Structure 1
Amino acid sequence: MYERALRWAAHRHAPWYLTALSFFEAIIFPIPPEVMLAPMSLAQPKRAFWFAALSLAGSMVGMFVGYALGYYALELAMPLVERLGYAGQFEQIKQQAAENGLLLLILAGFTPVPFKVFTIASGAVGMPLLPFFIGALIGRGKRVFLVALAIRLGGARAEAALRRHIEPIGWIALVLLAAVVGWLVWQAQGA
């Protein structure tokens, strides 16, 4: 499956394939869209952010399907969660989604747990749609746009480093983002 995704990245319809892969990865596929996004961005660096936007759009639509599965048909989604090996953690993720779903989704983009597990759990607890949308947009968006930015700036070396270190890089980016947001909030309160 991984090798097929790499071949799709070189196809003339690659942007459509990337969007479709991102959609299905958000629901069922185990292959992350970065396996197509990275080589596509490397081949056409000026279009890297466009490719990231397409990936994010496909993921967002897929995440709403995952949310709907959790909300309306959890019994259909549970075999997938079990097959992924996260049935034991699912109850804890559901509880976290019920307590602070927005933050959970923002952080979920760089955890080893597939994002689809978080979206299904968010639907299962009936998380309000606006916080779900915002959290999913930031959670997935920071990951795909970080890939696009790194490849746009660093080329093939950045792509190889990203492949090895995406999670730690993501956590560092998240800490920096939180620091900037915290500073802006602090400035707004002082003004």
Structure 2
Amino acid sequence: MLRTLYDWTLSLAARKTAEIWLAVIAFIESSVFLIPADVLYLPMALARPDRAYRYAIVATIFSTLGGIAGYFLGLFAYDALARPVLEFYGKFDEFEQLRQCTGEDTIMLLLVTSGLAHLPPIKVVTILAGVVQVSFAFFVISCIIARGARFMALAWAMRRYGEPIRHFIEKRLGLIAGLAAAILIALYFIAKYLGGGAMAAC
């Protein structure tokens, strides 16, 4: 099923309505769709590098709106809607692990890393943010900054390097972004631990 969804999403780039589909995929990937909008964004930006930043803005706006929808799913309809979605995609156990072992401040960090690198998956974190009622203002700002940074970085890379960088991005950028996100998480916990130790020493 995953490969079929991937191929279908990729095929949308060739349609005249590709920009509309980009908005749709960016919206639904935040709560109910498995394939990230990057899959559609990359061939679109490659075909029209003059529109790369425009597409990045569209993707950022609708990804943020989709994140807000996921947040409200978690806040108001977890048992009725959000949980069945997580179970369908096999993300429920991952969700429950995060729910049980992370506090609000950690979830705020995960909102940034998921937006930058899909680590953890965006839909898991957006729904979780609603369940634990993370500050809505912070949630929206983090979506705009983190997801915007990802799409703008892709736009810059596609405009500057074109086809060669596309292959690099498709094969290795996920790993690199994941490592960067892991480093960010590690630095956060180190700073938190040292800060807590310093406060305890006082």
TM-score interval, normalised by the smaller of the two chains: 0.7 to 0.9
In structure 2, the residue matched to 1:108 is 114
Query: Does the 8 Å contact 1:2/1:31 carry over to 2?
Result: yes
1:37-78 Cα offsets, whole Å, 9 max, x none, are 000100111110110110111111111110000000111211
Moved more, 107-116 or 34-43: 107-116
After superposition, residues 44-55 of structure 1 pair within 5 angstroms as 44-55=48-59
TM-score (norm 1): 0.83
Query: Does the 8 Å contact 1:143/1:170 carry over to 2?
Result: no
How far 1:13 sits from its partner (Å)? Answer: 1.6
Q: Does 1:153 align with 2:160?
A: yes
In structure 2, the residue matched to 1:70 is 74
Runs of 5+ unmatched residues, structure 1: 177-191
After superposition, residues 10-159 of structure 1 pair within 5 angstroms as 10-75=14-79, 76-94=81-99, 95-96=101-102, 98-109=104-115, 110-159=117-166
Counterparts of 2:128 and 2:103, CA distance in 1: 7
How far 1:128 sits from its partner (Å)? Answer: 1.0
Q: What is the one-letter code of the residue matched to 1:29? A: F
Counterparts of 2:69 and 2:52, CA distance in 1: 26
Q: What is the one-letter code of the residue matched to 1:153? A: R
% identity of equivalent residues: 34
User: How many residue pairs were aligned?
Assistant: 177
1:157-187 Cα offsets, whole Å, 9 max, x none, are 10010001122332577679xxxxxxxxxxx
**Root-mean-square deviation (Å):** 2.2
Runs of 4+ that moved beyond 3 A: 171-176
TM-score (norm 2): 0.79
Q: What is the one-letter code of the residue matched to 1:5? A: T
Counterparts of 1:123 and 1:42, CA distance in 2: 35
Q: Structure 1 residues 51, 97: CA separation in 2 closer, same or farther (over 3 Å shift)?
A: farther
Q: What is the one-letter code of the residue matched to 2:150? A: R
